[in-house]
A and B are shown apart, each in its own frame.
Chain A
Amino acid sequence: MRLATICLRNLSHRKLRTSLCIFGVAIATCFIVAVGAITYRYVEIITELNIFFRGKIVVVPRDAIVIQGFPLGGTFPQSAIYDISRINGVRKVTPMVVVFEFNVRENPNVIPINVTIGLPVKEWPLIIGSATLKGRMPLKNSTDEVIVGCSIADQYGISVGSKINIKGREFNVCGIVEGPSALLTRSIIMGLEKAQDVFGYPLLINMAIVDFDNNAVQDGIASEIENNLKYVMALTSEERNILTKPIIDFAVSWGLTIQAILLSLSMVLTAIVGIMSVSERRKDFATLDALGARSSYIFRIILLENSITGFVGSLLGIVFGTIIAAFLASFYTTIPFNQFLSSLVSIPQPLYIVEVIGLVTAVCCVGGIIPAIKASKIRISEILKAEY
């Protein structure tokens, strides 16, 4: 007879308690997964923003909050483009307007739900890059054509040739862009002048991309831009990463703290249930001892029972957690829940799932140490003395 058989029988014998304990672990795991998946995705989106403008200098307003070169707030005059382009070594300067939409159902939200990017039509490949494009690029100098991200297109049933209305202006959708960046999938790309007109940035921009000669020193050009134009920051790739690191670190540490609290709760829960279970089964453990079971055998029974509880609880928690993560993402982004269903399995990454299962199982196993020590110390003489 295997040890696992004894453990499974013990667990199934106390169905209600086992179910409640598994349910408790599942709830904790559920939130670990939900928090972890959201944090992971958030960090991933921020990190992947760095694929844009690699090897280029990004110029943004000095008073803006910058995430991987994309500014939140602030503007500077479009005329700055000419000042920058006169700097020695600068090959090309591309003006841009980037507007993050933070309103969800007319309420402000901390996570942007979509982004509008305005830049000269001929420079659109700078943003679209190697992403798949259904449809076509806009006609030269076209001012009423836009490309939209696939997620927005799916959400609103937009296809190539559709007409859309943005802040009272009508646009023709000439293309739909698909991944790999989450930013692109939630983007509306339009001409620079149109974006300035729609969002009220008359002759203002909030971003400029600076390309420079191969033999030019990136840091030197960035310093010169900042020296010449006091109201902007000129960020190299490395500086953009450095500026973003605290945001990523904050998100990760916030996620880890919540997960650590929930893991501790799982451990305490399984420890309490384990102690109760050992108290009730004192006679059984004493009998095992009398029959000649090693202390380690009794120890392993408890640890295995707790591990099974943790394993089953973590599996259930992952399923619930994924659904909750999708629900939260849907709530905060207005993207319909059913759009997440197709990609539900990829919301928590496979490696993260394995980590969570391993971690929750291990934590529940550790939670069994105190009950296991108690169980392995029970002797038949104490039980019989109490009986008679």
Chain B
Amino acid sequence: MKIKTVDLTRIYKMGSSEIVAVNKVSIEVNENQIVAIVGPTGSGKTTLLNLIGLNDYPTSGKIFIDSIDTTLLPASERRKIRLFHIGFIFQSFNLLPTLTALENVELPMALAGKPEEEQKKRASELLETVGLSDRAYHRPKELSTGEMQRVAIARALANNPKVIIADEPTGELDSKTAKEIISLLFNISKNERKTVIAATHDEKIVNFADVIYTIYDGKIKLKMKNL
């Protein structure tokens, strides 16, 4: 899945003032690439990921996914792309607190209308992949932060999406756990040939990335390729 943004801009209105969170950003993400978006807090990383992940509408500019201009798509089509083609990993995990780890992983498949047996089987396999098969019936509050992020990774992979969008996936983890999560995320991505776009401060992620974009005050300042 190829993603391209052209002059992407997102302006938030706060009373009478305007905040330009993303300012004319043009980037390209090729299939199976790992892309890191780095920058200080408030630089616009999360806003950019929300736009690319079709969770928000740009004020101006275009987002092309496989040459389709997503800004012209109706909400229902954007939702289908999110459901079937994009997996999300959030900094604060965003697991549903009332569901068990297994049910959290089943959730995207339930939303996609997959049969219950298939949901359970796939969710169990994914939990095994992230090393949490023994914690399947625990609720998020019974899991450590590292375990929660593993569940979030499994959930992101549930519908076998082509793109994983990770917003500061190691932001709330200690360095040891962060290292484990990074290797897990990128190993799975490499093995299953996923495109990963990750916003991060974490150097370890940057080391894994094929392409690194540096964002500052909503503008892309630098593009680098890891050799």
Contact = CB atoms under 8 A, between A and B. Distances in A.
A291 B56 contact: no
Contacts of A294: 76, 79, 111
Given A5-B103, A381-B50, A388-B41, A292 B98 contact: no
A288 B55 CA distance: 11
Interface in A1-35: 1-2, 5-6, 9-10, 12-13
Nearest to B171: A388
A361 B76 CA distance: 31
A10 B167 CA distance: 26
A289 B75 CA distance: 11
Interface string A257-300: 00000000000000000000000000110111111111001000
A284 B97 contact: yes
Contacts of B111: 288, 291-294, 297
Interface residues of B, number: 35
Contact of A1 (B41, B83, B110): B110
Contacts of A2: 110, 116
Interface in B94-114: 94, 96-99, 103, 106-108, 110-112
B82 interface: yes
The dominant DSSP class at the A interface is: helix
Nearest to A291: B108
Contacts of A5: 103
B116 A388 contact: no
Given A6-B99, A290-B55, A292-B80, A1 B108 contact: no
A384 interface: yes
B32 interface: no
A177 B106 CA distance: 66
Interface in B24-56: 41-42, 46-47, 50, 53, 55-56
A380 interface: yes
Interface residues of A, number: 27
Contacts, number: 77
Interface string B68-85: 000000001001101110
B14 to A, nearest CB: 11
Contacts of B80: 292
Contacts of A384: 46, 50, 90, 167
Contacts of A292: 79-80, 82-84, 108, 111-112
B88 interface: yes
A211 B103 CA distance: 77
Nearest to B19: A385
Interface of A: 1-2, 5-6, 9-10, 12-13, 283-284, 286-294, 297, 379-381, 384-385, 387-388
16 contacts: A1-B116, A6-B98, A6-B99, A287-B96, A288-B96, A291-B88, A291-B111, A292-B80, A294-B76, A294-B79, A297-B111, A380-B55, A381-B47, A381-B56, A384-B50, A388-B42
Given A6-B99, A284-B97, A387-B92, 7 more contacts: A1-B107, A1-B119, A9-B98, A292-B79, A292-B83, A294-B111, A379-B56
